[in-house]
Structure 1
Amino acid sequence: MFEIKDNHLAAGDLLAEALAKVPGIRHVKEVNDLSDIDKPTATPCLFYLYYGDQLTDAANAGANMQLKQTWLVVLAERKGSKQAGTNITATIRAIAGKMTGGAGPWQRVNTPIKPKYTNGHAFYPLAFTCQMRFKGALK
């Protein structure tokens, strides 16, 4: 199980490495807010962001925790792209059930947001969780 050491968001870097291997994707970028993905410059591309933690178990008066982090991955495509379905499938295959640098296995979960369509683009959200361990103060 992946242990959070100094960076609570370290799994994001590991997720990005796996997303970079999705065939046909032009770039992968971390964002801090969903509004940052409204106008992608090159598609298809993947955006990812931290969505939050779910605490699953704690021991030693809460000092040792198991948690699941949820990360959103959003595929941006030109509206009407014939490759959208193929790229969604390739993205899921690149992440679901995989171990990335000691983190994982990543599990696909229900996406908390719906797809979004603008005049020129379509945005397809996917959500993945990763189980982790965190050790707090023991004194």
Structure 2
Amino acid sequence: MFEISDDYLAAGPLLDTALSAVEGIRHVQHVNDLAEIDKPAHTPCLFYVYYGDQLAETAHAGANVQLKQTWLVILAERKGSKSAGQNLAATIRAVAGKMTGPAGPWQRVNTPIKPRYTSGFGFYPLAFTCQMRFKGAL
């Protein structure tokens, strides 16, 4: 199980590794806010953002915690693209059930947001969790 040491968001770069392997994707980028993905320069592209965590039962007065972090992955495609479905399938295949370094396996979960469409783009969200351990002060 992946253990968080100094960086609580250390799973992000590991997720980036898996997303960067998706064939046909031109750009992968971490964002801090979904509003940052309004007009992507290069499509198809994948954005990922930390969405939160879910705590399991704790031990040692909460000093040792097992948790699941949820990360959203958003595929951005130009309007009229015929490859969105294929790129979604390739992204799921690249992440779901995979280990990325010490993290994983990544599990696909229900996406908490719906697809969004603007005048020029379609944004297709996926969500993945990764189980981790965090040790606090004892």
TM-score bin, normalised by smaller chain: over 0.9
Root-mean-square deviation (Å): 0.4
Distance 1:73 1:21 in 2: 14
The residue that corresponds to 2:2 in the other structure is: 2
The 5-angstrom pairing of residues 35-50 of structure 1 reads 35-50=35-50
1:80 offset after TM fit, Å? 1.6
Give the secondary structure class of the aligned counterpart of 2:32: coil
The residue that corresponds to 1:55 in the other structure is: 55
The residue that corresponds to 2:74 in the other structure is: 74
Give the secondary structure class of the aligned counterpart of 2:108: strand
The residue that corresponds to 1:11 in the other structure is: 11
Distance 1:29 1:42 in 2: 11
- Consecutive unaligned residues in structure 1, runs of 5 or more: none
Q: Which amino acid letter does the alignment assign opposite residue 122 of structure 2?
A: A
Give the secondary structure class of the aligned counterpart of 1:13: helix
What is the TM-score when the length of structure 1 is the normalising length? 0.98
When the two structures are aligned, how many residues end up with a matched partner?
A: 138
* Percent sequence identity over aligned pairs: 77
2:119 matches 1:137: no
Structure 1 moving runs of 4+ over 6 Å: none
The 5-angstrom pairing of residues 86-101 of structure 1 reads 86-101=86-101
Give the secondary structure class of the aligned counterpart of 2:101: coil
Distance 2:16 2:22 in 1: 10
Give the secondary structure class of the aligned counterpart of 1:61: helix
Distance 1:17 1:98 in 2: 11
Give the secondary structure class of the aligned counterpart of 1:105: coil
Distance 2:17 2:31 in 1: 15
Distance 1:23 1:43 in 2: 13
Distance 2:22 2:94 in 1: 6
Q: Which amino acid letter does the alignment assign opposite residue 82 of structure 1?
A: K
1:57 offset after TM fit, Å? 2.1
Give the secondary structure class of the aligned counterpart of 1:114: coil
